[in-house]
Structure 1
């Protein structure tokens, strides 16, 4: 409770507990939070029995209360148990409300009767739902400043014997409103609530309680035996009061509805027609039927989840079959069981990447510790995460799409695992929207990646989808358990009909009529009953009407049209615009669109017509069929204008929020304005790229490039650079190179130096990864020159780092050091800790590669501290990896493995696949050095597979080379030869000075093992002659030469070494490949 709500000042205290003002952190709205502080033995409510567990029974009661919606009751919003296992629930907070008696004071008889009628309408609704209020008193009947009665605290009461012997209770004390039968211990029924109404009615008209309340014992005796004085009251109210206050409950009015009729009789009037809000309250709360076995199965799965055996479920069925109602019932029962329930909603309209995950994750971050790494990863999904956590959150490192998804999976799995509730139920509604369309793809991809982790979590994921809209979903989520909902049977229809109409709903003719009209579709059943009630005048009069041959001759479309036609004509234009906007309504956008229409009145009218509803504190269309009906009826000639109005409204209401870019691109497209579409498509592409939704980003970049006119050069260049990045990430280097080349031409011709600098950096990185260091050097130098012209800034520093990387790849360590040093000076002047950390780490690696390991150590320590101060967890992990490598070169394997394992964990949690794979390779190398060959080979094989998946040639070659070292050391020369052969084949395609040197030394060592000493010496000589004579290569040469010299003699060995120095590297690599592969 304390994670979601901030508790404020107390609002009141009663016998059951205390009410506080609280702030809901999720909705940012004030609520009234009631903590029930009495023990279970002192409470009475419908769900409690002699054998039931108090908390479980109370949770069942809360579940029922939370499902109730009526104009005259205060809605229970949330409920549960606090850290002391005491129950609590939250309600709407009414500002400026008075209790019933205070509000009635000074009012006319008609006004007072109106307040009583509203109270009785609330009771009628509760009683028809099987709920007795049990604690009706003026303090529990509040009246708003607008004169609307709101009944609260229904369903719960204190046990009668808790008041025994207590003196001094005023009329505000609960015993003053207890019926005689309750005091006699005969139980509490609807008649007891009507007695309490009678007491309040007497106080309202007489100005005092019907009995002396100064002594509790005397009060109880009076309630049981004495008759109230009615002679001084208005004669018109005597008969209703006498019946309500009768000692025998059988003599009171049979129902609250009958009492309402009696009160209208005071003025010789009949009860007015049933209002739409009243009728809707019965229809919307119709009973849950026909899905009992499915619910039982799901609850059993939730019990297993609480034991650590999570599961994923797909609930499928046609539109209107009852999927949402089943999930609502599951939600209620899950809360009963103590589970944390979080819910996400799919969207048909354009939405941000990971849209369906936003609300569930907002709730989860409140229930577990979230470090900066996790918060940064979630920032692209939860825009207000800083507000929720109450602290600044640094942006996460940019990663590839796969790495971002992996990072999110780790973060979400951690969040689910750290929740303190027994289990987590994650409900995802309308998953079919995520299975189709660009904007939902990332949400479904994330679920698909997460599903393999779910079985090991205390988590159950239940998703609903329309089978007709996503027939392939089951195949994609193969691990999920499928549940297909069928239409209701006649027995189920009878139960549902009774809950809406009353006992007459079970009549054979009614059930048969509903079955024929609806074929058991739940949505249609409710709509048919609604239509019958409209024709008959009220739900209760449906039983007496003659059933028509058909209600809807035109099928589904007419069902929808009839409902929509209940909205006044003046309100339909805004309703159509709301449908175009999306299923979820945005009051701020609607306010901008509303013109002369009062939005509150419009919301009330559409809600009364059951076209829109409040769901999870948000307005939305009550059913997708209603929105679809509006869209299908939309005039094609009017559609562009509506889209333009909506787009303009979004721009006005959210002028600087990129989250709406996808929606705006689509609205401007449908409005026929391609340039505006392209502008927002470009913004959307860059936004979804941050979320690493590459499919959506590529589509948006392409849309932008196609629609942008030639004179929008800056935006066209941005789109080209974006597409180049997309193709680079997907491994299509040629396409990436082509887009960058086209962008460079456009930038040069239009004088876009800033963009040209970005392009040159991109080309340098592209060629550097391909091993084409000469071309990489050319473009890196151009990037540096362009950045230098604009002064010392972060771009200049980044360009120098890229230049340093290229020089390092070429083996020119002095130039690399100079470039890194220049960048470091720039970052020092800019006071940029991340840039300083990066250059310091690179300088440490240069020293390590040169064998100056003791000098390198302080660089890594300083880089780690800088990364830590800026909260860059990935940078910290990289430095740990590099520091571990330096320790390994120093022979300090214990510390090397310690640092590697720390880096390994950090990379894994960050979802940074490249770093994680690199660390696996480093750990393997450390175990090789320690002589643990089995562990070394296992780690190296895993890393080799990872580098292949990442399409990283250097990583793939390096690990393959090390696999050769390990198997050679183990004495398996055939396996070593195969590994070296594979490494050589890749080396021919992707030359790398470092790996060339190490391959030559490694194959030289293998030749020595085979007894080919002269050939071995030649290769060792060629290795020594390389500019990049790495520490690993030097070690191999030094280990192998003694055996060669022993066999060949000193003079012959030196001659062979000299011959090797004069060989051509390129030719020798090809020759070695041919020789080894022939032997293999």
Structure 2
């Protein structure tokens, strides 16, 4: 029974209507909802006759069609099994045209030669791939306006070698005699079937008519055919001769191949028809065999198989596979082959893509989420993240959300960066609905920092992983990109596998070009020449092969192709891939070249309507140009998530060549045209494209709109924890804004200073922006912004070691803030002053400042200020050695955070509770707090907190006598990458609205919390890399923030010594105070201040050697670990100094 319209197959393909039924299956017009309702043809295998043979034939159709891409063949997309009834199906290009029998025969007779030559071109291509169609008939020939012929239905396609002994197949009236006899068959059987189609077109009758199959077969085997001109004398004689030759009973009397058939059709014609065109030759070249990558493909298949079989539950298996290599080396082809394997195996796979310019944060993951149907139930914790990344369409709010009061839903701005990233990861897992699959991510070299942070989270996240991520990247560009740092950090991780593609060697180049066209002789000389010129790059090879055909060096001779031997040594090859592309583009017609140039400026796939608007041409002209470029394989046709067909340049190297070939004036003009077109097209949803508009208006040199859209894009980046893009857009905006536009310049300078100094740890850059802010605020007479500028200057000076200047500017900032009436700003000035005082050693004075800030925060109901200031005050008490006060205050702070459901604040500051408990001698309580913080940070893959907790727990466990547990913890710590900041995440979260959530200065809770203007409450950990920085040392810009500056510069006295003890300063000489901590106390590691020795490459290596030695000895055969453990315990009982205990511990490790 046919499926009814609207029926949803696998939660993806929505049935529109029945298109037709054949011997093997039923074909529906459907919409692919995961690709924005793209119209497709969906073919089901008929359930009545399913057996292993028919299933294999059906899969064979998919295998055959995936190898074929030609202007006169329908393109295949996907293969799958229906969830409902386990029926096999495949999806292919929906040809919006008419079957040949439905078209007026008189009109088709007028187009006879065009129809015939297009069919011959398709058969020539099929046969060159060693395939036969086997089912050519009128219903398998579609004509798309204006007159493009498409051959359909490869359900009976087979290899010619296999068909040599094949039996009867195809529709009886169109089957060649040799098939009926059960003899050997080749491409001439397809020519016979085409002859039957063309005979009927000319005469209106079949050459062998009849209803009973037996009589039809007998007639075919007799081979007597009535001449077409006996039906109608107006039929041209050469048409008759052509058709009759195709219908010859003996295959040897037929044309030997489509080329020979075309020569016969051309006999006596004024203008000879061509079998080869630039478009058809491009099809040959771009569909060569998959060469030189078999080992890599099998590795990928094995990884995918293991992932699916384990259902993503085996933590030892890779979760990420990075396929790298130079541009054009074959990464996309390798992943395409893997995708086809997965489809045949019924494995769900999705694709996301990164873009060089204008993409949104988390771009490939947003693409993936859009391809999956939104589950009916979305966890409340995930909902705000999901709504921000992939907002439901109007009217699509899930039912469970309608009944949830808005006030009870978590707000995206109330969560921190790690929670936001964990929410994205949870969304991906939730959307999987328990079914494992594979996600392809293309062009990872352009992945943004938030996307890389998410990848790190997915890599390290505990628990099941439903998706295996397979990405491609250009290694030459990845080295300086966030993904390069990610791969360097985690290169040895068992969950990450890297596969690098090498250039093809001469033998592989020979095999590849021999598979492109049927050469008369094996093209070894030509292959050696091309291998040397292209360095084994497949894309460059394709472009050169196209160029050689266009200039006549490669040509047909008889049944095969030849390269002119006399000119082979003198071949003028394009000197580079770019020059080969430019040469092809320059030969295009004006409108085709203009469309290619506009696409190079868009630098992403775009809808044809938008493309036409930007190019300034009509939709029909744009469609014609796109069609011509597609046939030349210069563009690729795709479908967006909102259902529109889109087009983009076929490869990034093609884009680069076209774009670099533009003059400066032409480039600016095209960027402006593209920007105006995007602005007009997206007028109702402009926020979705602000990044693109900012990019194009800036490139066009239009300061007004450039500033507007850069500021809007900066706000968006700020909310999505993307400080690098925030800084980029702010700097572009400031370059475009006039000096008198203080209303926008001053807030932008605030955000720029904070983003640089806090999020990117660029104190010098932050100081420069703050000074500019101060000068402009003074000039404008804006006291509010002048106060903020002074506060920012003070903060940055403190980071750069100028404590005197920091205090001076911070006090001036507070004095101004008290004159403006902005009490919230006063809170942050007090917070900054208290931090600066503590950092300069004036901890006692800082107590009063923090108390005033806490009182003011409570009076104003500023919960974020209250929590942040209280945390900093806790740290200050620890610096004074007043651990009891610190413990009471941090307990109160955490209770407040929990009572107000500020989960992120609670766990971000929880390690400080462990530190305070440790300082008062409550070692079990310290362990409990650290373990709780560790569990949360592992769940959210907050690497900096994980490292801090592991460092401290290793020491705490040792002091409790839990040496095996300490060894495991510290061994785990050593296996983690770097210190989690300098070698870790690519920047922190950008700020929120001014006066919003403060962020903490680096230090896993052992640092002062940041001032307002930061949407990432709780802040970050330090970049690490060593102990205290000498006073006055210059701060270097780096990926992560600098070390703990509050405790590095505490003055002498008890506070300084207590701080050094709590810091685990390697140079400290203070012995533990028995009255305040366990007698055997080892130096605990301060939050965010890992043991410097473990971060130095040499020291880490030594640590690894010690750990290996401990493991060897304690296979416990030699008793090495027990002996060293006993030495540590004895040293502790004797009250040995910290230095000696540390040495004992090192031996234990």
After TM superposition, list the pairs within 5 Å mapping 1:39-50 onto structure 2.
none
User: Corresponding residue for 2:92?
Assistant: 91
**One of 320, 328, 332 as aligned partner of 2:336:** 328
Which structure has the larger Rg?
1
Find the residue that maps to 1:497 and give its secondary structure. helix
Query: How much does 1:2 deviate?
Result: 4.4
Query: How much does 1:132 deviate?
Result: 2.4
Find the residue that maps to 2:40 and give its secondary structure. strand
User: Corresponding residue for 2:746?
Assistant: 717
User: Corresponding residue for 1:103?
Assistant: 103
Q: Does 1:309 align with 2:317?
A: yes
Query: How much does 1:76 deviate?
Result: 1.2
User: Corresponding residue for 2:572?
Assistant: 552
User: Corresponding residue for 1:698?
Assistant: 727
User: Corresponding residue for 1:10?
Assistant: 17
**One of 478, 487, 497 as aligned partner of 2:504:** 487
**CA offset digits 1:489-544 (Å, max 9, x no partner):** 1x434433333331325255655665566564434433343233224498534836
Residues 1:768 and 1:399: Cα distance change in structure 2 (over 3 Å)? farther
User: Corresponding residue for 1:619?
Assistant: 647
Residues 1:82 and 1:544: Cα distance change in structure 2 (over 3 Å)? same
Query: How much does 1:33 deviate?
Result: 1.8
How far, CA to CA, are the matches of 2:897 and 2:450 in structure 1? Answer: 37
How far, CA to CA, are the matches of 2:855 and 2:392 in structure 1? Answer: 40
Contact kept? 1:744, 1:756, Cα under 8 Å: yes
- Give TM-score scaled by structure 2 length: 0.64
**CA offset digits 1:965-988 (Å, max 9, x no partner):** xxxxxxxxxxxxxxxxx9999998
User: Corresponding residue for 1:956?
Assistant: 1006
Find the residue that maps to 1:149 and give its secondary structure. strand
Residues 1:858 and 1:126: Cα distance change in structure 2 (over 3 Å)? same
Query: How much does 1:4 deviate?
Result: 6.2
User: Which one is further off, 521-530 or 305-314?
Assistant: 305-314
Query: How much does 1:285 deviate?
Result: 1.4
**CA offset digits 1:440-481 (Å, max 9, x no partner):** 455556556655569985625342425488599878624253
User: Corresponding residue for 2:74?
Assistant: 74
User: Corresponding residue for 1:1050?
Assistant: none
Residues 1:276 and 1:815: Cα distance change in structure 2 (over 3 Å)? closer
How far, CA to CA, are the matches of 2:853 and 2:652 in structure 1? Answer: 65
**One of 561, 565, 576 as aligned partner of 1:543:** 561
User: Which one is further off, 698-707 or 903-912?
Assistant: 903-912
Q: Does 1:233 align with 2:249?
A: no
How far, CA to CA, are the matches of 1:79 and 1:595 in structure 2? Answer: 39
How far, CA to CA, are the matches of 1:1010 and 1:442 in structure 2? Answer: 42
Contact kept? 1:298, 1:330, Cα under 8 Å: yes
After TM superposition, list the pairs within 5 Å mapping 1:349-388 onto structure 2.
349=357, 351-355=359-363, 357-360=365-368, 362-363=370-371, 371=379, 373-374=381-382, 376-377=384-385, 382=389
How far, CA to CA, are the matches of 2:744 and 2:587 in structure 1? Answer: 48
Contact kept? 1:323, 1:485, Cα under 8 Å: no
Contact kept? 2:79, 2:344, Cα under 8 Å: no
**One of 294, 297, 300 as aligned partner of 1:295:** 297
Query: How much does 1:711 deviate?
Result: 0.8
Query: How much does 1:100 deviate?
Result: 0.9
**CA offset digits 1:970-1011 (Å, max 9, x no partner):** xxxxxxxxxxxx99999989999xx99xx9xxx9x9766999
User: Corresponding residue for 2:1147?
Assistant: none
Structure having the larger proportion of residues in helix = 1
How far, CA to CA, are the matches of 1:661 and 1:742 in structure 2? Answer: 27
User: Which one is further off, 730-739 or 209-218?
Assistant: 730-739
- Give TM-score scaled by structure 1 length: 0.67
How far, CA to CA, are the matches of 1:474 and 1:212 in structure 2? Answer: 68
**One of 425, 428, 432 as aligned partner of 2:442:** 428
Q: Does 1:600 align with 2:623?
A: yes
How far, CA to CA, are the matches of 1:560 and 1:244 in structure 2? Answer: 40
**One of 549, 556, 562 as aligned partner of 2:583:** 562
How far, CA to CA, are the matches of 1:619 and 1:189 in structure 2? Answer: 37
Contact kept? 1:377, 1:396, Cα under 8 Å: yes
Query: How much does 1:120 deviate?
Result: 3.5
Find the residue that maps to 1:25 and give its secondary structure. helix
Residues 1:695 and 1:520: Cα distance change in structure 2 (over 3 Å)? closer
How far, CA to CA, are the matches of 2:191 and 2:712 in structure 1? Answer: 62
Query: How much does 1:294 deviate?
Result: 3.8
Contact kept? 1:36, 1:88, Cα under 8 Å: yes
Contact kept? 1:350, 1:662, Cα under 8 Å: yes
How far, CA to CA, are the matches of 1:642 and 1:272 in structure 2? Answer: 37
User: Corresponding residue for 1:19?
Assistant: 27
User: Corresponding residue for 1:125?
Assistant: 125
Find the residue that maps to 1:19 and give its secondary structure. strand
How far, CA to CA, are the matches of 2:305 and 2:1141 in structure 1? Answer: 60
**One of 591, 608, 620 as aligned partner of 2:612:** 591
How far, CA to CA, are the matches of 2:10 and 2:194 in structure 1? Answer: 39
Q: Does 1:196 align with 2:193?
A: yes
Query: How much does 1:314 deviate?
Result: 4.9
How far, CA to CA, are the matches of 1:367 and 1:303 in structure 2? Answer: 26
**CA offset digits 1:177-221 (Å, max 9, x no partner):** 444554555587534433433443344344344556544565556
How far, CA to CA, are the matches of 1:124 and 1:553 in structure 2? Answer: 27
How far, CA to CA, are the matches of 2:591 and 2:484 in structure 1? Answer: 44
**One of 477, 480, 490 as aligned partner of 2:487:** 477
After TM superposition, list the pairs within 5 Å mapping 1:644-659 onto structure 2.
644-654=672-682, 657-658=686-687
Residues 1:310 and 1:368: Cα distance change in structure 2 (over 3 Å)? farther
How far, CA to CA, are the matches of 2:969 and 2:739 in structure 1? Answer: 52
Find the residue that maps to 2:79 and give its secondary structure. strand
Equivalenced residues, count: 939
Query: How much does 1:629 deviate?
Result: 3.4
Find the residue that maps to 1:15 and give its secondary structure. coil
Contact kept? 1:345, 1:428, Cα under 8 Å: yes
**CA offset digits 1:389-430 (Å, max 9, x no partner):** 8658986347666x3786378448847986624x5253433x
Residues 1:117 and 1:736: Cα distance change in structure 2 (over 3 Å)? closer
**CA offset digits 1:577-612 (Å, max 9, x no partner):** 443443655645532332257322332344445433
How far, CA to CA, are the matches of 1:733 and 1:92 in structure 2? Answer: 56
Find the residue that maps to 2:91 and give its secondary structure. strand
Query: How much does 1:567 deviate?
Result: 0.9
How far, CA to CA, are the matches of 2:1007 and 2:581 in structure 1? Answer: 64
How far, CA to CA, are the matches of 2:668 and 2:383 in structure 1? Answer: 40
Find the residue that maps to 1:525 and give its secondary structure. helix
Contact kept? 1:677, 1:704, Cα under 8 Å: yes
Residues 1:37 and 1:711: Cα distance change in structure 2 (over 3 Å)? same
How far, CA to CA, are the matches of 2:536 and 2:676 in structure 1? Answer: 43
**One of 37, 45, 58 as aligned partner of 1:36:** 45
Contact kept? 2:125, 2:284, Cα under 8 Å: yes
Query: How much does 1:222 deviate?
Result: 5.3
Residues 1:454 and 1:363: Cα distance change in structure 2 (over 3 Å)? farther
Contact kept? 1:286, 1:496, Cα under 8 Å: yes
User: Corresponding residue for 2:1094?
Assistant: none
How far, CA to CA, are the matches of 1:483 and 1:498 in structure 2? Answer: 25
Residues 1:467 and 1:60: Cα distance change in structure 2 (over 3 Å)? farther
How far, CA to CA, are the matches of 1:796 and 1:516 in structure 2? Answer: 67
Contact kept? 1:117, 1:260, Cα under 8 Å: yes
How far, CA to CA, are the matches of 1:741 and 1:205 in structure 2? Answer: 85
User: Corresponding residue for 2:287?
Assistant: 285
How far, CA to CA, are the matches of 1:475 and 1:800 in structure 2? Answer: 36
**CA offset digits 1:847-888 (Å, max 9, x no partner):** xx9999xx9999999966xx9xxxxx869999999999xxxx
Find the residue that maps to 1:504 and give its secondary structure. coil
Find the residue that maps to 1:506 and give its secondary structure. coil
